[in-house]
Amino acid sequence: MTSSTIGVAVIGAGMAGRAHCAGYRTAPTLFDPPLPPIRYAAVVDANASVATDAATRYGYERAGTDWRELLDDDTVDVVSVVVANHLHRQIVESLLAAGKHVLCEKPLAASIEDATAMVAAAAAHPGQVTGTGFVYRRQPAVAATKELLAERLGNVSHFNGRYWCDYASSPLTPMSWRYQGGPGTGALSDIGSHLIDLSEFLCGPMTSVGGAAFATLVTERAEAVGTTYGHARAELSDVVHPVQNDDVATFTASFASGAVGTFSVSRVAPGLANSMAFDVMAQRGSVRWDMDRPAEFSLLADMSGDGYDGSRTILAGPAHPYIRGGLPMDFPGCSFGVGDLFGYQARAFLEQVAGIDGLPPVAPFADGLRDLTVIDAVIRSAAARGATVALPAHPGH
């Protein structure tokens, strides 16, 4: 840090990288106390035009194409790593060795081996803040559900979660890093990683998974002509590659609390753009949340048995986490979206760097490794025709 200013850089300016660029921009406008001054130092992307475009739009001082340029750059204290999963380890280890604080996207790595090494690297640099981007923990309705479960609803019996997307429904979506890697590195790792994390965030640690099955519907994809990012369509070349991983993944889980879980993940669910949802059934009530209507959740609680019991829809507002001070107009009914969550995450990470005791800290790398441990167990269950696979204890619980 130069004086009290925190210099920020983002590596990878594709779909999620832009959310990080914007999140750091928004962070100083949110909550109290004020953050130290933020210096918007650099955006780096292997594609020069993508880097320049993001740096210009989000007001970062410079754009670059080689993340190594950040290592000796004294104006950069905090770096978000927002590139393909298999690139995370090398970049994160180098940044930590160079003294940077590192916020890395989920899944933390492409393998348990890489994630384990990253946890060790973080432990070797205890003075630097590290975190995994499990941004949906900061969804106000999700955070409210966590409070409800802890304070009112009692022991959970069943978590039923789904994350259905349609980004891979069309065979015309070009080949990308998302379709490479073995079974379980597809929909399970890309979006199931969020759902797995949320289930343990709400229900505590899992002890085993089982009944896993994968399906791949679109078995080959053509390379794009030129560069794309995210899930964008593009002109396709004649170069076709096999899809190596799962379009659909389902499995069950047992939790240490005695609860059970059922999980369903798809990237080929037509018409469902980004549809994460869960029902959590507990001793004294249940909660239902669906990201298609992100500011609402349904609560069934305090049943009298008089014939008028039923779930009611609650609008997330200033009485719930993250809303008061977390929106420019933090009034009931003003709503919020996924972009706001990246602002909360950036704010939380910068608070940790600045030593401010404020928002819940960003999930440590250990939680990213834990997530991959569950994913690996699901992969082994699927390989063994749905056999039950025991999980090690969750180091964070």
Does 47 bind ligand NAD (CB under 6 A)? Our answer is yes
DSSP string, 290-334: ETTSTTEEEEEES---SS----EEEE--TTSTTTTTTSSS--TT-
Of 17 and 326, nearer to ligand NAD (C-beta) is 17
Surface-to-core class of residue 328, CB atoms within 10 Å of its CB (0-12 exposed, 13-18 middle, 19+ buried): exposed
Q: Which of 82, 249, 374, 375 binds ligand NAD (CB under 6 A)?
A: 82
Give the nearest distance from C-beta 76 to ligand NAD in angstroms. 14
Does 85 bind ligand NAD (CB under 6 A)? Our answer is yes
Query: Taking CA 86 as the corner, what is the angle to CA 278 and CA 261, rounded to the nearest 5 degrees?
Result: 20
90-109 residues near ligand NAD, rule: CB under 6 A: 105-106
Burial readout 189-220 (b: 16 or more C-beta within 10 A, e: otherwise): bbbbbbbbbbbbbbbbbbbbbbbbebebebee
Whose CB is nearest to ligand NAD? 14
Give the nearest distance from C-beta 194 to ligand NAD in angstroms. 7
Query: In whole angstroms, how far apart are CA 69 and each of 51, 66, 100?
Result: 14, 6, 13
Which region among 39-47, 117-125, 250-258, 292-300 touches ligand NAD (by CB under 6 A)?
39-47
Of 46 and 218, nearer to ligand NAD (C-beta) is 46
Q: Which of 7, 131, 133, 285 binds ligand NAD (CB under 6 A)?
A: 133
Return the SS3 of 336: coil
Give the nearest distance from C-beta 247 to ligand NAD in angstroms. 16
Of 188 and 389, nearer to ligand NAD (C-beta) is 188
Q: Which of 27, 38, 44, 287 binds ligand NAD (CB under 6 A)?
A: 44
Surface-to-core class of residue 162, CB atoms within 10 Å of its CB (0-12 exposed, 13-18 middle, 19+ buried): buried
Does 168 bind ligand NAD (CB under 6 A)? Our answer is no
Query: Are the C-beta atoms of residues 210 and 386 closer than 8 Å to each other?
Result: yes
Q: Which of 14, 23, 321, 368 binds ligand NAD (CB under 6 A)?
A: 14
Q: Which of 16, 41, 95, 198 binds ligand NAD (CB under 6 A)?
A: 16
Q: Which of 7, 8, 9, 17 binds ligand NAD (CB under 6 A)?
A: 17
Of 39 and 106, nearer to ligand NAD (C-beta) is 106
Residues 6+ apart with CB under 8 A from 59: 25, 40
Query: Are the C-beta atoms of residues 133 and 343 closer than 8 Å to each other?
Result: no
Could you give the CA distance from residue 217 to residue 344 in angstroms, rounded to a whole number?
A: 36
Does 48 bind ligand NAD (CB under 6 A)? Our answer is no
Does 12 bind ligand NAD (CB under 6 A)? Our answer is yes
Q: Which pair of tokens denotes residue 372?
A: 């991959």
Does 13 bind ligand NAD (CB under 6 A)? Our answer is yes
**Which of 163, 275, 259, 252 shows the shortest CA–CA distance to 202?**
259
Interaction pattern, residues 169-188, with ligand NAD; x per rule: CB under 6 A: -------x------------
CA atoms within 13 A on the CB side of 130: 28
In the complex, the residues that contact ligand NAD under the rule CB under 6 A are 11-17, 44-47, 50, 67, 82-83, 85, 87, 105-106, 133, 135, 176, 190, 229-230
